[in-house]
Structures are given as C-alpha cells and as structure tokens.
Chain A
Amino acid sequence: MSKEVVKEKSMVLQKEMLGKHFIELSRTHETGKKVVYTFVPGNLSELILAFGMLPVYPEINALQSGMRKKSGSFIREAEKMGHSEDVCTYVKCDIGMMLNGNIGPTGEKLPPPDLLLLSYTGCFTFMKWFESLERLYPGVPVAMLHTPYQENGEMTEEMTNYMVEQLKQEVIPKMEMVSGNKYDESKLAGILENSAKAEDLIVKIFSTTKNRPSPIDAYFAGVYYIGPINSGFRGTPEAVTYYEALYEEILERVRLGLGPITPEGEMEEERFRLVVEGPPNWTSFREFWKLFYDMGAVVVASSYTKVGGMHDLGFRHDPAQPLASLGKYCMNCYTNLNLPQRIDLLAKYITEYHADGFLVNSIKSCNSFSAGQLLMMRQLEERLGIPVSFIESDLVDPRYFSYSNIKNRLDSFFQMLDQRKIIKGQMEETTA
C-alpha cells in the first residue's frame, strides 16, 4: 500500500509541473512572457530561464501527439501541404498540430514563438524544421547555434571556444532583444547549480537498474523520468524535488526487491535484461511496452534516455563556467557523438548492466539516430558475443508500426535468448 502512495508522489509532482508550465504558456498574452521554441538534444533551457522566457519543445509536443493518437491526422495535414512521405514525422506532426490550432498536450493552446532557438546538434532536419516554422510564423527571429560534431571523438578547446563565441554573438544578443532583459551571468550560474543537482540524481536513478531485479525500466519508464529534465525544468528547484522523490521511491523498490512498474502491472519475474538503442515508437507505445512485459524483458539501459545529456559519463553543468559548460553540454549530447563513441558507450552499458541481449529499434524518421545502427550492432555482437536484434518502426507515424512484424521479431528474439540459456547450459554441461 505504502509503495503505491510513494509512487504517486513523483508522478503527481511531474503532472503538476507540466500542468503549471502549459497554463503559463497559455497565458503569455496576459503576462507578456516571451516564448522560445527549441529542441531537446543540446537544449539551452537554463539560458532561456535566465532571460525569464518560457521554452516550448516541438519534439515533445509531437511525441505527446503520437501517444494521444493524434499524430496520424496531423501528419496527413502536413502531407497535404506538400511535405513528402519521407520527411521526419516529428516535423510533419508538429506542423499539422500548428495548422490545427496549436493545441498542446494538456488541451491548452500554445502561444506562437517569439524566438526560434535553432540548436543544431547532430540533426540536419532541425534546420529544415525551423525553416518551415519560420514560414508559418513570418518575421519570427531565429538564433542559430551550430554544434560541431565530435568527429574525432573528443571536444577540443577550440570547439568550446567556438560554442561560447556563438552564444555571445548570436544567441545571447537575440535573447536580450526578444526578452528585453540583459544577460545576467550570476542568475544563469544559480540555475546551473540546480541543473547539476538534478543531473546527479538522474545518474543515480538510472544506475539503480544494475540491481537484480531492476527496480525500473530504463527505456519505457525511462522516457517519463527524463521528462522534466528534457522539457525545460532542468535548473529549477522543482526538478530537484521531483528527482529526489523519484530516487527515494526507486530505492524503496530496491530495498523490497521489486521489479519495474508497468501499465500492465508490476513485473513479477525479470527474465531478460536488455540494452536498447534508438527512440521508442510513440503511437503504439503501450502495446510496444507490453510485448516486453509479457516476456519478462526489462530494459536496463538505453541510449534514448540520454538524448538530453550524457550525465552518466561525468558531465555536469558548471556554475563556475556557465557559457563554456553550456557549450560542452551541447557537444556532448548522444546524437552528436561519433559512431565509435556510441559503440563504446553501448558496450559499457551491456557489460556494466549485465544485459542478456541488445536490441535496436531503428526509426524510419530519424536519420541522426538510425544512420550506422547496423554497423554498431555488428560491432557489439562481435566484440561482446551478445545476441542482438533489429526491429524497425517510426516515431509518430502510425503507418509505420507493424504490430505483427514487430511481435514476430521480438518473439523470436526473446525465444533466442531463452533457448540460449537452456541449450547452451546443457551443451556446456555435456561437453564439460
């Protein structure tokens, strides 16, 4: 009984935070607060907050539309405008939503952007996306932040300087212009202090999956846990409170030896531990999750839950060097890593989290995630001798989620892991 109450606490907190945020967004015409549209990977939430502005994340709106089964019709709207079938479905869903009155996930109308903060981090589509928004909102200023790719697997001092210069010369002046406020570094440093606290907590939370059974699912439930940190609350005291509460709840599950909570109920038996690469499908999110639940498969680590920052590799926002740490944060996001870095990271997850299998959910819409995934999978298979599997779906286009195809492949994969446990044991026993 008590665990149910405790569990509710973090969920209630998250719901309150998000609800408040969307109400605030719907009232900007009264409050005069300025609105910045921007992207999740390498987001500059703290900077936006430091100028007293409110962030809107079109990616998150799109995935919410997917979960609320609205993306199909939004995508059709965008296709009617001429966006082809091959265009990223987040983009089309977002544009379709705007064409339909820009009603956000909580039912409140979203305000138009006062600034488009185009942080380019490993995804070319972001540029095209905001070009489209610029046409939908004529005259809206665009601040471009170009994040250099970690081509050689490292961030050099020059790269950091380049980022800081762009912040100083392009991003901050535009924010000052739009918000009417001067840049205040001490205010930003204060916000970053909270960011680092939340980041410490989220790292601890995602490390709890090293336990057996894992107390949480780091992919399906993980996407809820990264909600606040990725949707503008990083740097707020509310986020710190939320993650403290969540961490407490999870520690309690660890103490009680409980498995993850899922929409189908608590997972009774942990049969397989997986590492998953790639975003989930949002339109059939629950059915997708259930396929794992039915087989007792728990995701113990995933790359997708790191799109908002690679904090587990040691990065923290640093109040002592605010702009440089924002720059480093952007360069360090998952889709900005090169393939060898991504392979090393996944290999580390597979080993440290004792995974039985590795799965790629390759997304038709997402080049920045999908390019190179087969190669990554091959290398992991060769390096670690781990069973691997590859499925394909899409972010928010319901036409590209084939339940029977995915079920067939996942069934095979889980049976593959199962049989491996049984027969390999027997064979080794016999030959021993």
Chain B
Amino acid sequence: MKKYYLGIDLGSTTSKAVIIDEQDNIIGRGITNTRSNYEVAAEIAKQSAIYNARFYLLQQRLHDVLEQHPEYKRYIKEMKDAFEYLQFSTRLERLRKQFLLTAETTAKDETLRNAMTAEVERIVREIQAETKEEYLEKDLGSKSQFFRDIVGEKYNEKVSRLAKAYFEPMMLLFDKSINPVENEMISFEFKHLVEESMNLLNEKYAHLADQKNAGHSIHFDAELNLLKGNYQTVSDSLKEHINYVSQEEFHIANMVGTGYGRALLPFPESCIKSEILCHAFGAHAIFPNTRTVLDIGGQDTKAIQVDQYGLVTSFHMNDRCAAGCGRYLGYIADELNISLNELGPLAVSAQKEVTICSTCTVFAGAELRELLNVGEKREDILAGLHRAIVMRAMSLLARSGGVRNEFTFTGGVARNQAVLKYVSELVLKNYGQDLTINVHTDSIFMGALGGAMFARRNIEVALPSKKKNQELAEAD
C-alpha cells in the first residue's frame, strides 16, 4: 500500500492541509477559512486535500492522454469547477435552511418574519443561479475564494438594494447564520459528486451544441470546440479511471500539525511542530536555494533564515501588533467596504502613493478616513497602505539578518499583487538587483507542506539513510 503524509497548518485566518507521497510530491491540498473550531477546520481542510489528491491521481493516470488531447485536460478542469460548485451549492442549501431557522427564532414580528423569509428565499435562488454560472462558465473555482466571501459579497449587495427597514434585520440574519453553516463538517462521497459534476458538464456541452445551431460562435475556444462534439466519448472514457481513483485508499502514515491552533489538535506531541520550522522547510523544498523566507500570514509576519538543509538558523516575528499582517488588510477592506481580493488590484492601479504614517491597524482606519475626506483617491491611499505594510516586513527582515541569498515570499498575503510588487521592489533595492525572488502559487500552503515533509521524515525507519545503516548492522 502506498504511504501518504499529511501536514495541517492551522493559521489564525485559514486552515490548510497538504498531502505528499513518499517522494515529497504534493498530491493534494485543501484550505478552509473555518476557524471557530480547529478540529473541524483540520478535518475540512484534510477532506478537501483528499478530494484534490484524487483529481491529482486521475491526472497522473491520464498523463499521456492529457498531453495529446487538450479536450481531456479541459474536461477535467471543468469537472473540478463543477465539483467545487456542487460543494458550494450543498452548503448554500444548508445556509438557506439556517436562515429560515434563525428568522424563526430572532424575528418576533410575524409580518417582518414572513417578508424576510420571502426575501431570503429569493436572494438564495439568485445566488445559486449566479454562482452556477460563475463556477461553470467564468472560472470562479480558480479564484480560491471561501464560501463566506462569495456568499457574503453577493448577499450584502442584494440586501443593500432592499428597503432600508430590512437592512439591519437582514444583516443580523446573515451574521447569525453564517458561522454554524461554515463550521459544519459536510461529507461528500467523491465518486457520487464527480458523477454529478459530469452530468452538469454534459448538460453544459449539450447546450453549447444548441447554441452553435442557434448561430452563436464559440470558434475562439478551440478546446471547447473539440469537446462539444465528443464530450460523451470523453466522459465515458473517464469513468473507469474515476472509479479507480475514487477507491484509492489514502493511507496517512504520519501527520504533523502546525500553526496557531496546533496545540489544540488531537495529535501526539511529536506530531506538533512550530510553524516557523514548517514554513521554512516547505519553502526550501520548493526553492532549494532559498536562504531567507518572508512569510506574511493572517496575524503575524515571520522573517526566517535557513541553511542549505532548509533548517532554520534564526527567525524574527512581529510582536505585540498585527499591523502589517493579513488581518490589517482585512480590516482596511472592511473599512472601504470592498472584498479582500480587490485590494491588491486597486492598489496596483494607483497613480501615486499616499504616505501612511500609522503603524497601528486601528489608527490606520482613522487615517484612511481622514485622507479620503481631504480628497485623496482610494487607490492611492491603498498603494500607500500596502507600501507601509511591506516597510514593516522589511524592518523585520533587516532585524532577522537581512536577505542573504535567494529569497522566498510565502503566506496568504503573498497572493496580494500589490504587496508582492512592493516586496520585490524593496528587497531588490535593499539587498541587490540580482537577487532571485521566489513566489509560488501555493505560497499559502508552505506551512502545511513543511509539516507533511516533517511527518515523512520523522518516521525514522522509512529514511533511506537509516535503512542503509540497518542493513549494514544486519550484515555485521
């Protein structure tokens, strides 16, 4: 039986899981922003990493086919999107029920309750339809947004269009309903969900064929063009492989938990590791020449120096204040009433950078309002704010010993393109233009990856060197 290793990183904002095989290859990753209960969060992240791993295995099995037939590649990609949509849709249905339950217990006035119920039903229907389209047609799945963010954004927008009297009670309804739903562990049967995903896709492709007949042009999308003719063949030939990967048992030989919630994990002590070690080890595994790692997470920033083995030689963390971390950005997004994902693109579009003096999250909110009042543009202020965050990270980097060699930027905040822009700019400016700067699309998973890698190494008998020694000893 194949052995797999699991790393779980319970961060202050998100929980991540990574599964690796015996060669340290990442075969699955999962993420959730559930955080009220770390045990549930760990389980949700793990389940989603296992789904992800099954898709990985599927792609592995079909490697040659995928190389030669782009339509298969496309089909699997869209199947994953549909798979995500179905999970989303199941949770949305739970949310609908929770809305009704909450309305029942909180809205005392019957007329108001009935009106709210009707509005909620309508809003959920609309969200259902919109997200279906966005997942199946517009690539929402690849944006790695969380259930709460997607639903919240749409819900807010719809509620703001209602009569003023509804605003407060409807927002309260959301706040009271979202947590239990977000924190609920919903188990899906992989095979069943994949089959449903295929049904959805086949429906979509059949519809495409109709569109063609109706005169719509889809000639610009070659893969889709290929699919619309033979989606049935593609899906039929996939079934056998899907059966196989659905049955694959993921034997987790060892696991390691890290991150702020690590002490709460039901793992033995030897399976709990500091996130500093895990982030560094993960980043070093992806970029082996890395000597300095900067990790900006939800509530802390870490500057870590590593040696040639990926082992930490020293580190520095922010103390006493979260300004400069992900939560700071979340706070600013709330203040501006925009989503976290919009911050980076807005800041990058700035014409200038407004100087932000505050080093405190709460004060920065006040400063932001002040600057808006005096007529500064939102994107220019945001550019200044992003720069201020990076300046703090740079000071931490300097305290940790600076950037000595190849530099790797990790953590959830590494997804923000404005932060990335300033980090690159300032690192090059301060430590030399010819430095290599690494950022990986999986930056947020580095801690979990490091954890999984430690999990694999901590089983001493499995180590090649140990085996070799054992054999030598036996030979004697």
Contacts and interface: CB of A to CB of B under 8 A. Distances in A.
Contact of B313 (A374, A388, A405): A388
Interface in B194-247: none
A333 to B, nearest CB: 28
A408 B274 contact: yes
Contacts of A378: 401
A3 interface: no
B108 interface: no
Interface string A392-432: 10000000001001001101100110011011101101100
B315 interface: yes
B399 interface: yes
A175 B274 CA distance: 57
B319 A405 contact: yes
Interface string A378-399: 1001000101111010000000
A385 B311 CA distance: 12
B314 A427 contact: no
A364 B449 CA distance: 36
Given A415-B277, A416-B274, A416-B311, A402 B320 contact: yes
B314 A387 contact: yes
A405 B316 CA distance: 12
Contacts of A374: 399
Interface string B308-350: 0101111111011000000000000000000000000000000
A387 B315 CA distance: 10
Residue picked from B274, B317, B401, most chain A C-beta under 10 Å: B274
Interface in B283-326: 309, 311-317, 319-320
A419 B317 contact: no
Contact of B316 (A387, A390, A426): A390
Given A412-B277, A415-B273, A430 B311 contact: no
B381 interface: no
Nearest to B273: A415
A422 B277 CA distance: 13
Given A388-B314, A405-B319, A416 B466 contact: no
Given A378-B401, A402-B319, A424 B464 contact: no
A426 to B, nearest CB: 5
A377 interface: yes
Nearest to A409: B317
Interface residues of B, number: 25
Residue picked from B273, B275, B311, B457, most chain A C-beta under 10 Å: B311
Residue picked from B273, B276, B320, most chain A C-beta under 10 Å: B276
B274 A423 contact: no
Residue picked from A411, A412, A426, most chain B C-beta under 10 Å: A412
B463 interface: yes
Contacts of A415: 273-274, 277
B465 A429 contact: yes
A365 to B, nearest CB: 15
A329 to B, nearest CB: 35
Interface in B342-372: none
A426 B466 CA distance: 8
B279 to A, nearest CB: 10
A429 B469 contact: yes
A160 B311 CA distance: 48
Which secondary structure characterizes the binding site on chain B?
A: mixed
A390 B273 CA distance: 19
B99 interface: no
Nearest to A421: B311
Contacts of A423: 309, 311, 457
B407 interface: no
Contacts of A424: 309, 311
A422 B457 CA distance: 9
Contact of B465 (A385, A409, A419, A430): A430
Contacts of B277: 412, 415-416, 419
A388 B399 CA distance: 13
A381 B454 CA distance: 25
B253 to A, nearest CB: 17
A416 B465 CA distance: 21
Interface string B452-476: 0010011000011110010000000
Nearest to A410: B274
Contact of A387 (B312, B319, B399, B466): B312
Nearest to A429: B465
Contacts of B466: 426
Interface string A66-90: 0000000000000000000000000
A275 B315 CA distance: 17
Nearest to A412: B274
Nearest to A411: B274
A416 B273 CA distance: 10
A10 B47 CA distance: 60
A423 B274 CA distance: 15
A376 to B, nearest CB: 12
B315 A389 contact: yes
A427 B464 CA distance: 10
A380 to B, nearest CB: 10
Contact of B311 (A381, A389, A392, A419): A419
Given A412-B274, A412-B276, A420 B463 contact: no
B313 A426 contact: no
A402 B317 CA distance: 13
B323 to A, nearest CB: 16
A374 B398 CA distance: 10
B56 to A, nearest CB: 27
B322 to A, nearest CB: 12
A387 B313 CA distance: 5
Interface string A333-358: 00000000000000000000000000
B314 A377 contact: yes
B316 A420 contact: no
A381 B319 contact: no
A381 B401 contact: yes
A405 B401 CA distance: 21
A392 B274 contact: no
Contacts of A402: 319-320
Nearest to B466: A426
A427 B319 contact: no
Contacts of B464: 430
Contact of A416 (B276, B457, B463): B276
A381 B291 CA distance: 14
B463 A426 contact: yes
Contacts of B275: 412
Given A377-B314, A409-B317, A424-B309, 9 more contacts: A378-B401, A387-B312, A389-B314, A405-B317, A415-B274, A419-B312, A424-B311, A426-B466, A427-B309
8 contacts: A374-B399, A381-B401, A389-B314, A408-B274, A412-B274, A415-B274, A419-B311, A427-B309
Question: Top 4 A-B pairs ranked by shortest CB distance?
Answer: A412-B274, A412-B276, A429-B465, A430-B465
